[in-house]
Structure 1
Amino acid sequence: MVQPEGSAPRRPRLGMDLTILALIGVLLIAALGAGGAALYQQYYSPAAFVSRYLDLLASGRAADALRVPGVAVDRTVLEAAGIDGNASEALLRRAALAPLTDVRLETEQNGGVYRVSADYQAAGHSGTTEFEIVQDGWVGVAPNWRFAKSPLAEIELVVRGADVFSVNGFELDRRQVAITGAEAAPLEPVHLLVFTPGVYSVTVKTPIASSPGVSVLADAPLTHTPVDVQTQPTKKFRDVVQQRVEQFLTTCTTQKVLQPTACPFGLEVRNRLAPDSLPMWSITEQPQVSVIPDGANWRIKPSDAVAHIEVDIQSLFDGSIEHVSEDVPFSVDGTITILADGSASIRVGTPAGPDLD
């Protein structure tokens, strides 16, 4: 049969069309595969699971972060990891969370466990935390995930010289979060659960004591971190102690005896007071009181001072009378105990010395 002039061969054109269709099919399959992989990576992968948890911490959604599978665990799990089973949850809240930014994630697989490593900035501190993730069933064709190891950790905190402190600006009273409550000894550690990762800055600012921020980077799940905060006396507190000590010494000078009772100064003589002569005391140089830490309380560092006495002394040998005008150097120290109501009990000298409340 003769093919009409000017017409294209059908078979070659059909083959070309099929080739084009096949190529389009391959591209569609590749696009679907790439889209599915991107969708998995962004929404359904272990890294996406960790990213959502970190986003919750970064936005302060502590309650939602606690509901992420594998975060909240039985207390026996915490104890097995060396964390106190009665640790307080007071810091597992929005008010105690610090900023978390610049998060970068990498994932490695080891059998059924995925290790997701997160680099980040936590309140200006660079950190890296590794999470262990395992599959937790399916939702349709998408996998569910959970933390194989809870990202909670513990801070064991001792605050010296104060009962009230703040963590990231959230104020706490030691007696409210201590395991033994109001009966807790002043230096009994406070056990606090925290999220990882996160920076927790402990500060003290009371009328008696203060301290700059002591920052702790909680960057490892199920770990135990001891923190010891030593406060320093405030200027107001030092001024009060100085005033009370000066008042006490001035009161001592009103005792018209050679050895004022419960006072740090006195004069010993071998003879006796002259008739109708009473010792007259005054303080010519008050001590410059220095308040220093002493465990959970404070101590007055030994400070030099000078008293002056005017008195007439009669000789036991010949009855002659001598006028004594003498400076008497002495030293002042003491203890300061912080009471349950936050006030201070100032005691000069020995534990049996006078109380200057």
Structure 2
Amino acid sequence: MSFTPVSPGARKRVKVIGALVGVLVVLVIAGVVALKVVNSSRTPEAEVRKYLDLLASGQASAATAMVDPGVSNDQRSFLTDDVMASATSLLVVEDVVADKNDSSDTRMVTATMQVNGERFTHSFVVTADKATMGVLDNWKIKDSLAVPVTVDGDGIGQFSVGGTKASIDKASFFMEGRSFLFYPGAYNFTPVVPNEYVDSTPVPVSVLDDARTAGGDGASDVTFKATYNDKLEAAALEAAQALVESCGTYPGNQGDDCSSLIQGDSVTAISIKEKPTSLDSYSFDPTSFSGSVTYTVTTEGTLFAGTRDVGLTVKVDARFDDDGMMMMTADGKPDFRVSFAF
């Protein structure tokens, strides 16, 4: 058998092809290795950590864009960068761990975090998303870390956090308070006072996986209660003295709001002997006041005709509407019910 010698040109072509094949193999191997390296950073844990890092740095808008809370826009008013910037403490991420089911398209990723020194955990559901260019892994977090906080108010109709205000109108007569979403952090919830007679006292709230209020144990996470200041007592005293003076003249004492003890056709003269210069709260109600008044009354034509002192108690009660808000007059003063008692 004879062999045809391979020409130098053919040998050269074989060497070139072999070299190209070798280069392609190296490139394929390098590409596979590079893809694995890239995808190693595109894991369920990495996706959750990216989301939590946004919250830890106060980037509420970016976090919302990454994981939609699934609520209407009017329920997102506190999911903003400005609100998070007002927090006294934000999220601190301690650990992020995925389950061991590596081959599943649905993974559970558990994060250990803390806010204001309080530790908590949350398990995220993360699902495989469509791969980029068919090769780069993508994952999508299914549940937001936005936490509902229920706010109620007694004599307070609005509150603010970080400059954002909201009304505490009830969803229905049977429900207490209204729910608002917040990202984890420690915030000051500040009541918006309805008038100059109410003081404002912020309520510190730590939002973790739930809302934790200092000293709070009511049905709502935050319950504001109006604290009435000395201006209310001063206004009540002014209203009391106005009625006392109106009934302390003749025939002003015949008015419907005056006591029957100083009324009647037999009364011919009346004067104020002593009127209240201060009031006391009664029935443990900070919006109800009472004081003492003494009239000197002269009567004629009766068995007990003559001049005598009549001691009465004047009572002043603030009026409230159906929502528990103190009613005001047109000139911005409390709308009081003023009456006499024995």
Which TM class, normalised by the smaller chain length? 0.5 to 0.7
User: In structure 1, what is the equivalent of residue 203 of structure 2?
Assistant: 213
Q: Structure 2 vs 1, CA of residues 112 and 164 (structure 1 numbering), >3 Å: closer, same or farther?
A: same
Matches within 5 A, 1:143-182: 143-167=137-161, 169-174=162-167
Task: Compute the displacement of 1:323 (Å).
Answer: 1.9
Cα offset, 1:307, TM superposition: 0.4
Aligned partner of 1:47 among 31, 45, 48: 45
Relative distance call for 1:203 and 1:135 in structure 2 (3 A) is same
**Within 2, Cα distance between the matches of 1:135 and 1:327?**
83
- Residue number among 299, 304, 307 corresponding to 1:313 in the alignment: 299
Equivalent position of 2:99 in the other structure? 108
Q: What corresponds to 2:334 in structure 1? A: 346
Q: Select 1:300's aligned residue among 287, 306, 312.
A: 287
Name the CA shift for 1:340/1:273 in 2 (closer, same or farther; >3 Å): closer
1:325 alignment partner, one of 299, 304, 309 = 309
Q: 2:116–2:206: 8 Å Cα contact kept in structure 1? A: no
Q: Deviations over 1:96-120 (max 9, x none)?
A: 2241124221221454322111111
Shift of 1:212: 3.4
Distance 1:289 1:131 in 2: 54
Structure 1 pair 334–163 and aligned structure 2 pair: CA distance change class (3 A): closer
Does residue 126 (structure 1) correspond to residue 119 (structure 2)? The answer is yes
- 1:1-357 paired onto structure 2 within 5 Å: 43-68=41-66, 71-72=67-68, 78=71, 85=72, 87-97=74-84, 98=87, 99-110=90-101, 111-139=104-132, 141-167=135-161, 169-174=162-167, 189-195=177-183, 197-204=184-191, 206=193, 207=196, 208-219=198-209, 227-234=221-228, 238-255=229-246, 256-257=249-250, 259=253, 261=255, 263=257, 265=259, 267-268=261-262, 272-274=266-268, 277-280=269-272, 282-284=274-276, 286-289=278-281, 300-301=287-288, 303-317=289-303, 321-336=305-320, 337-338=325-326, 346-349=334-337
Q: Report the CA distance shift for 1:316/1:261 in structure 2 as closer, same or farther (over 3 A).
A: closer
Aligned AA (1:92): L
Equivalent position amino acid for 2:236 in 1: V
Which one-letter code corresponds to 2:54 in the other structure? L
Partners of 2:50 and 2:295 in 1: how far apart? 78
- Deviation, 1:52, is 0.8
8 Å CA contact retained: 2:203, 2:222: no
CA shift for structure 1 position 93 = 0.8
2:63 aligned counterpart, secondary structure: helix
Whether the aligned pair in 2 keeps the contact of 1:87 and 1:191 (CA below 8 Å) is no
| 1:44 alignment partner, SS class | coil
1:228, distance to aligned residue in structure 2 (A): 4.2
Q: Distance in 2 between matches of 1:86 and 1:165?
A: 18
| Alpha-carbon distance in 1 for matches of 2:281, 2:254 | 21
Cα distance in 1, alignment partners of residues 311 and 129 from structure 2 = 84
Report how many residues are paired: 283
Alpha-carbon distance in 1 for matches of 2:299, 2:235: 32
Distance 1:239 1:46, change over 3 A: same
Letter matched to residue 128 of structure 1: T
In 1, Cα distance between the equivalents of 2:266 and 2:327? Answer: 44
> In structure 2, what is the Cα distance between the partners aligned to 1:340 and 1:246?
16
CA distance in 1 between partners of 2:55 and 2:124 (Å): 15
Alignment gaps of 5+ in structure 1: 1-28, 79-84, 294-298
| Inter-partner Cα distance in structure 1 for 2:139 and 2:149 | 27
Percentage identity across aligned positions?
18
Q: So what's the TM-score if we normalise by structure 2?
A: 0.66
Change (3 A) 1:102 1:341: farther
Q: Using the alignment, how far apart are the partners of 1:267 and 1:212 within structure 2?
A: 48
